[in-house]
Amino acid sequence: MSASVRYQDMKFDFLLFGEYIIYGAIANDIIRRSMGISKYCKTRLLLIDCSDDFILHAKEMTSESDVQVVEMNSQDFRDSIIEKQSDIMVTHTWPETLKFISSIPDLLKRTVLIDESPPLYDRFPKDIPYPRTLRDRVLSFKPARTIISRKYKRALKHALARVAISDVHAKVVKKFYGIEMDFVSYDPILSMQFHYTESVRKNIVVFNAKNEDVVKIVELVKLINQFTNGNIILMNSEIDVNIQYPHEKKDHYSNSELSETLASAYIAIIPERKGAFELVPIECIASGVPVISPMVPSLRVIDSHLSVDLKVPPYYDIDSLEYAGRSNFLEWIRKINNQRENFAKVIGSFFSTEHVAERFLEDLNRLLTKSKPGRYNSTSAWRQNQ
């Protein structure tokens, strides 16, 4: 039985609280998830105390989906009878959101928490996967001081389900909090915007770079320029030194602007090392753009689950450049250039909103039907649907 038939009588409410930044990655991930679930279930996107700009943004994102967008203030939400409106609530673990839903009696018991919290650790090479001490970890990223709290752990403990967005993230939560995540659900991409197109590809696109990355970027550009002669496009990069190559800067871009940029990209350089998943490399690869990046969790997913379907990895570990040699890197570029359409199709399908949603429903169903009685008493409608 297909997911669209099996779960068609279920209802999901995706909740976003106090959002006002329309380019916020965490909120947009929740919106994309709601769009995927709406392919199979009745789905609402509840925008509680969100700004007018964000509400407009959410409506535009979901305009071609079956998601029902509902805006309300927190008091109206509290007064509503949640139990009769949805079977499952879904939201993320941002501190203010956890504080809000924890203040409403019994809401956590029917809430699936997608752990989309800010970066809680620095990623290192494979032989040093995590900082050695909790103190190192706290100091490496200040918001961790807020996340490492009783409310965070209590919310995860009492939630209907705890969902990590990568295998690495699940290991980190278990290592530092002692909390076992229920399952992993990767962040999805909008395949309608990120897909392969036949086009002239010359530019080198650089994401989230800082001044300390300039030397490495210039070194890579010298090598890549043996194959292309396009401009360097700096996306959301805080670089204030002259990189001595033709370049332009783009900050605070929309998904449509990003997809247009990627359509002309020959390759992408992404030196960013912090984050629980890192969706940008996936969006690039799904658009037919190979990436040079550290082995962030999203790329490890490709390595673990999709390597058989790929003739050549659509990514190159930026940390291996020193010991693997320049000739190895240049050979990778030669091989990968003819594989764009193939790897874009494989990655785009695996990380699409529809595929991620179907796996999410299957994993959640498995969890709710096989777990210990008592924890999921609030999901009687779900059990009746089985």
What would the pLDDT profile of 242-253 be if each residue is shown by its tens digit? Answer: 777 778 888 877
Q: What average pLDDT is seen over the chain?
A: 83
Q: Which CATH number fits domain 203-350: 3.40.50.620, 3.40.50.2000, 2.60.120.650, 3.90.320.10?
A: 3.40.50.2000
Lowest mean pLDDT among 121-135, 185-199, 225-239, 338-352: 121-135
| Yes or no: domain 3-116+149-188+352-375 corresponds to CATH 2.40.50.140 | no
The band of 81, judged by pLDDT with boundaries at 50, 70 and 90, is low
> CA 300 from chain center: how many Å?
14
Q: What is the DSSP letter of 266?
A: E
Domains 3-116+149-188+352-375 and 203-350 share a fold: yes
Dihedral sign from CA coordinates of 121, 125, 126, 128: negative
Contacts of 224 (CB under 8 A, 6+ apart): 204, 266, 267, 333
Task: Give mean pLDDT, residues 142-170.
Answer: 79
Identify the pLDDT of residue 117.
65
Q: How far is CA 96 from CA 48, 52, 103, 120, 158, in A?
A: 12, 19, 11, 17, 17
Q: Residue 88: what residue type? A: I
268 versus 93: which is more confidently predicted?
Answer: 268
Segments making up each domain of the chain, as ranges: 3-116+149-188+352-375, 203-350
For residue 136, what pLDDT is reported? 47
- Residue 227's pLDDT band, with cuts at 50, 70 and 90, is very high
Q: Which has more confidence, 234 or 373? A: 234
pLDDT band at 134 (very low <50, low <70, confident <90, very high): very low
Average pLDDT over residues 64-76: 94
pTM of the model: 0.85
Q: How would residue 128 be classed by pLDDT, with cut points 50, 70 and 90? A: very low
| Number of neighbours of residue 25 by Cβ within 10 angstroms | 15
Q: Is the pLDDT of residue 365 over 70?
A: yes
CA-angle at 123, arms to 120 and 124, nearest 5°: 145
Please check the confidence at residue 299 and state whether its pLDDT lies above 50. Answer: yes
**Looking at residue 373, what DSSP letter applies?**
T
Distance, in Å, from the CA atom of 254 to the CA atom of 20, rounded to the nearest integer, reads: 15
Q: Are 259 and 194 in contact (CB under 8 A)?
A: yes
Q: Are 272 and 296 in contact (CB under 8 A)?
A: yes
Residue 384 pLDDT > 60, yes or no?
Answer: no
